Amino acid sequence: MDLYETDGYRSAIMKGKESFEELETYIDLYLIHSPHHPYERIGMYRGLEELQRQGIVKSIGVSNFGVKHLQELLDSPETSVVPAVNQVEIHPFLLRNDIEEFCAAHGIVVQAYSPLAKAKRMDDETINAIAGGHGVSVAQVGFVTVAYGTVYCMVGVHGFPAEALVRNWLKSLVLRVICPNI
């Protein structure tokens, strides 16, 4: 059954319980993947709230929600839980300051996926010039351009394992202190 072809509330609960049974343990974080289904958004989120009340999921959140979508959730009389996380694509070529500021103001953690632009822009002249000028890697520049309050969703990409991403991210924190204007 497709989550979006039926009642969002019931479908979210059903899919959450299926995941719970497959994992044989509670779920740390359960997200609505996208806001593309306006008639079901609130219902799906209510379903996540119910899963949280039942102890099936610890935290709930959203993915790819803009400020308008987040405000809709917060303003709805049908919802009562502020999303713990909003997972969005953020990198030097796609900064989402409006989303980050909104989330910070409402206690929502921003989780960046693709903070290195899916490793497709590692040869960008500007990023390479900045990296060379500061004696750091392109990855470090990519991480440092994303705001402090962001949590990174790091997975390895071909030729660039997750361990290297974490190492570069930690080094970028030092770079941010040394060169705050990057």
Q: Are 161 and 149 in contact (CB under 8 A)?
A: no
Is pLDDT larger for residue 76 or for residue 130?
A: 76
* Measured distance between the N- and C-terminal CA atoms of the chain, rounded to whole angstroms: 47
Task: Give the whole-angstrom CA distance, residue 16 versus residue 64.
Answer: 19
pLDDT at 6 over 50: yes
C-alpha Rg value of the chain to the nearest Å: 18
Highest mean pLDDT among 74-78, 128-132, 173-177: 74-78
Is this model's pTM higher than 0.75 or not?
no
Q: Tell whether 101 and 130 lie within a shared domain.
A: yes
Q: 17-59, pLDDT tens digit by residue?
A: 999 999 999 899 999 988 777 778 999 999 999 999 999 999 9
Q: Which of 57, 83, 109 is the last residue of a domain?
A: 83
Q: Are 151 and 113 in contact (CB under 8 A)?
A: no
Task: Give the whole-angstrom CA distance, residue 52 versus residue 113.
Answer: 24
What integer pLDDT is reported at residue 178 of this predicted model? 45
Q: Tell whether 89 and 168 lie within a shared domain.
A: yes
Task: Give the whole-angstrom CA distance, residue 21 versus residue 23.
Answer: 6
Q: Which residue range is the domain that position 16 belongs to? A: 1-83
Q: Tell whether 154 and 164 lie within a shared domain.
A: yes
Q: 106-159, pLDDT tens digit by residue?
A: 999 888 877 677 777 788 888 788 788 878 777 777 666 554 455 544 444 444
Task: Give the whole-angstrom CA distance, residue 164 versus residue 46.
Answer: 38
When divided into structural domains, the chain yields a total of 2
Helix (H) or strand (E) holding 22, with range, is helix 8-23
Task: Give the whole-angstrom CA distance, residue 53 versus residue 72.
Answer: 21
Q: Tell whether 118 and 164 lie within a shared domain.
A: yes
Q: Tell whether 88 and 172 lie within a shared domain.
A: yes
Q: Which of 52, 83, 114 is the last residue of a domain?
A: 83
What integer pLDDT is reported at residue 16 of this predicted model? 94
Q: Tell whether 47 and 70 lie within a shared domain.
A: yes
Q: Tell whether 51 and 103 lie within a shared domain.
A: no
Virtual CA dihedral for 161, 144, 33, 106, nearest 10 degrees?
150
Q: Tell whether 4 and 71 lie within a shared domain.
A: yes
What integer pLDDT is reported at residue 151 of this predicted model? 52
Q: Tell whether 49 and 27 lie within a shared domain.
A: yes
Q: Tell whether 53 and 128 lie within a shared domain.
A: no
Q: Which of 26, 57, 83 is the last residue of a domain?
A: 83
Q: Tell whether 7 and 75 lie within a shared domain.
A: yes
Residue 100, classed as helix, strand or coil, is helix
Band (164; pLDDT cuts 50, 70, 90): low
CA distances to 19, 97, 105, 114, 169 from 144, rounded to whole Å, are 35, 14, 21, 13, 8
